Chains A and B, each alone.
Chain A
């Protein structure tokens, strides 16, 4: 069965600090996709990034960067120079391709990030 664990329930930082959100996953499938979503106080989940299991190249997009390590089943997300608008709940999700669960995403319980001015 697929499982996603976000061990950090809440993180609080001061604006301009860097912050890393951890995600560890479990899957029996050899082909899968990993996602990060952001849920601001307004409530709507918004997609941030996707990675497939064959692409371990890390990515930087503006202030966001992602570190995917298949050997440790981790897909961590870093915000550089955090801003108050980054305050939200961040969810990591896993979607398998080949097994009977194919087609749905399993989410972690989220990390609530608070960025203080």
Chain B
């Protein structure tokens, strides 16, 4: 069990630029989640995948956000035309195929939009 891996750890970008984050889940986990966390808040759900299928997207996820999980393995989260309000910690988590399973989180990618 190598854990959930996220890259990069930190990203600083200028407003209007596009950014892409990568998440490698625990290999045997079917579900993969993206959350966003801002200072003083709990993780907010963005979207999740069951294998390669994206099953739910939060209303928080504007059209500038897109996530993929090709072949049901790693996932990418892309933010187009970044805004300062996008600055946050983006967390990836994975779990086996059951609602009862706890989430295994990565260390997150901290995005700063200047």
Binding site for B on A (CB under 8 A): 4, 6, 9, 33, 35, 37, 42-47, 50, 52, 91, 93, 95-97, 101-110
Contact = CB atoms under 8 A, between A and B. Distances in A.
A20 B43 CA distance: 22
Nearest to B41: A109
Contacts of B50: 103
Contact of B102 (A47, A102, A104): A47
Contacts of B31: 103
Given A44-B105, A45-B105, A108 B100 contact: no
Contacts of B44: 107
B40 A104 contact: no
Nearest to A33: B100
Nearest to A92: B42
B29 to A, nearest CB: 13
Contacts, number: 63
Nearest to A110: B42
Contacts of A43: 89, 107-108
Interface of B: 31, 33, 35, 40-45, 48, 50, 55-56, 89, 91, 93, 99-100, 102-108
Given A35-B102, A47-B102, A52-B100, A104 B56 contact: yes
Nearest to B46: A104
A66 to B, nearest CB: 14
Given A44-B107, A91-B42, A103 B100 contact: no
Nearest to A32: B99
Contacts of B40: 9, 109-110
Given A45-B91, A45-B105, A47-B104, A107 B48 contact: no
A33 B105 contact: no
A108 B91 CA distance: 15
A105 B48 CA distance: 11
